Amino acid sequence: MTEQQIGNILHIINTANVSEKRRDSAAADVLQLAAESFTKKIFSSFLTAESNGLQETDTLPTEKRDRQKTGISFTRQEIKKMPAKYRKIFAHGDLIVPYRLRKDGVYEARVRKKNMHIEVSAKDFDSLKQKFIRALQNNDRPADRQKLSQIKFDDFACKWLEVKKNLVKPSTFKEYDRLFQKNLLPTFGNCFLEDIDREILQNYLLGFVREGKNRTAEKLSDLLRCIFDVAADDFKIPSPMAKVVLPRYQTKKGNALTCEEEAKLVRYCLENPNGAASSAILVLLYFGMRQSELATIRVISNEWLEIETSKERLGKDVVLRRAPFTPMARKILPYTDFAKARSTNLHSIASALKRVLPNHHVHELRHTYVSRCKECGVASEVVSLWVGHSLSGTITSTVYTHYSTEFQQRESEKVLYDLPL
């Protein structure tokens, strides 16, 4: 309070329409307040000067010197991120976090009290605060949880993939790796495992659903579930994928070609015998194979085509099966180069098929083979043997039934039908 302000107030009191006793009492109160204000101001100046004498240096800017006097102060939002048992301590300012600026320009903070043993450093002040809060959170967690907060998704998932590489087929691992590199790594690669929660994963997968990529969402969901199940077991935490759900999606099953469509496709192959995919398409259509099995085919006496079943899991014995040269297969034999079919690029097969029959996909050639065999009267279980399907679930079919080569050849002769070429 300045001298002029005191004079103005006393003048107002002396001219007020009140008794002399009340004017004297009010004036005394004003003078007392003025004295206290003056004393406080002098005392504050003295403390500031003493503090500056002790802490001020030529190397620290003013803003950094002011911070260093009081330690780190936290906003309400920052305090909310702290474990509940520490919030009151920092909210009331009972615990000051001292810090220093080292000669190399790095900030460093250290606390050694109240069961807190924390030491953090950072290149800027805001990062120092965030690191301190994260360290405070870790200080209140079991050792497994502390370790979880230090592991990035990229590192953990890569180790998981290395293990899976030895347990699944190369083609399966290739798909895992493709999904990881294309989708998961750009999104979660630099995230700590602890920071990836259910809500983040749910929204991520629903993004693919909204784009109409339901199948991709399912594949990524399966991959993420496997990764986080292992993490949950390692660190004794619930998996964030446990409650993630996707809308029900009906996978397209495919259909057999009509006779007209089959004829159109065969004509294309016969008219383009040097085409990259012509031989491969004919083999798939008249031997009922999966396209991934093409590389394994071997002709036996122009009576059987030996095939390595691709559905077998890694670690099990390779299962070989035989598909017969039916009358329909013998018709296209002069136009089929099995060596060329073995080395055909799978993408060229899909491209050629889409060029002729845009509404069909390669696996439907297998549907067509099975359908034609059954339409011609071949026993269902024999067809299952030819295409590498398991027999029916009865013990009679799976254990005690062994169809002879002669019987299978007789059945194969039934596969003969008119094709409008």
CATH number at residue 209: 1.10.150.130
Strands (E), 275-415: 298-300, 304-308, 320-324
Residue 59 has pLDDT above 50, yes or no: no
The domain total for the chain is 4
Last residue of a domain, one of 140, 170, 199: 140
**pLDDT above 50: residue 391:** yes
User: Do residues 29 and 164 share a domain?
Assistant: no
Question: Does residue 146 sit within a domain?
Answer: no
Domain span holding position 79: 64-140
Query: What mean pLDDT is predicted for residues 274-299?
Result: 94
Does 394 lie in the same domain as 274?
A: yes
Q: CB neighbours (10 Å) of residue 267?
A: 14
* Domain match, 191 and 293 both: no
Mark whether 199 and 86 lie in a shared domain.
Answer: no
- 342 and 399 inside one domain: yes
Q: What does pTM read for this prediction? A: 0.52
Residue 262 phi, psi (nearest 5): -60, -45
pLDDT for 67 beyond 50: no
Element (H, E) at 29: helix 20-55
| 179, pLDDT greater than 80 | yes
Average pLDDT over residues 256-276: 94
Which residue would you say has higher pLDDT here, 353 or 117?
Answer: 353
Task: Establish if 254 belongs to a structural domain.
Answer: no
**Average pLDDT of the segment spanning 96-112:** 82
Kindly list the distances between the CA atom of residue 264 and the CA atoms of 290, 337, 340, 357, 369, in Å, as whole numbers in the listed order. Answer: 21, 20, 22, 9, 16
Same domain? For 210 and 101 the reply is no
Q: 30-34, 81-85, 151-155: lowest mean pLDDT where?
A: 30-34
Q: Which residue has the higher pLDDT, 138 or 272?
A: 272
Per-residue pLDDT averaged across 230-240, rounded?
Answer: 85
The answer to whether residue 377 is domain-embedded is yes
Nearest alpha-carbon partner for 376 in 331, 408, 415, 328: 415
Q: Are residues 181 and 131 in the same domain?
A: no
- Looking at the structure, tell me whether residues 392 and 306 fall in a common domain: yes
The fraction of the chain above a pLDDT of 90, given in percent, is 44
For residues 401 and 329, state if they share a domain: yes
**Are residues 120 and 178 located together in one domain of the fold?**
no
In this structure, are 160 and 131 located in the same domain?
no
User: What is the structure's pLDDT at 319?
Assistant: 82
Give a yes or no: residue 243 inside a domain.
no
The answer on 165 and 277 residing in a single domain is: no
Beta bridge partners of 113: 116
